[in-house]
């Protein structure tokens, strides 16, 4: 796999784990502010992002690429309100999707079809 493509793949793994932190922060805020259902839902979103990062890690390991995890930033701890959490999470998911589409396109252009197939799983 080309170095640039591997770096993009590793960066996405990192972003998936950062996304889990964001959703965990939202979950904590929701719980603290009396929205236990939202807290549970955001926790599920965090778990999903972790599973995505792990799926990407396992793929790279299966094709004998070294997975190097880098530090992730702490998520925000305060949010403007209940509805804003959902607006922020929607915007974040759009950003994640755009990143995955770019990775799919880069993998296809590099003729890394197995990697492109991995990313198509997230798109579909």
- Residues 63-119: tens digit of each pLDDT: 999 999 999 988 898 999 989 999 999 999 999 999 999 999 999 999 999 999 999
pLDDT score of 63: 97
Identify the domain containing residue 42 by its residue range. 3-72+80-123
pLDDT score of 17: 97
Instruction: Enumerate residues 6+ apart whose C-beta is below 8 A from 35.
Output: 82
Tell me, what CATH number does 51's domain have? 1.20.1260.10
Confidence of residue 22 (pLDDT cuts 50, 70, 90): very high
Cα distances (angstroms) measured from residue 94 to each of 3, 69, 73, 87, 101: 26, 23, 20, 11, 11
Total domains in the fold of the chain: 1
């Amino acid at each position: 796999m080309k170095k640039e493509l591997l770096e993009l793949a590793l960066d996405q793994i990192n972003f998936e784990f950062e996304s889990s932190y964001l959703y965990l922060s939202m979950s904590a805020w929701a719980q603290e502010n009396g929205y236990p259902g939202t807290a549970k839902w955001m926790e599920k979103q965090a778990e999903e992002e972790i599973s995505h990062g792990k799926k990407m890690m396992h793929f790279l390991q299966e094709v004998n690429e070294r997975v190097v995890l880098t530090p992730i930033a702490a998520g925000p701890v305060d949010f403007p309100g209940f509805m804003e959490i959902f607006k922020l999470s929607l915007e974040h998911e759009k950003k994640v999707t755009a990143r995955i589409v770019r990775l799919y396109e880069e993998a296809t252009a590099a003729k890394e079809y197995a990697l492109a197939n991995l990313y198509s799983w997230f798109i579909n």
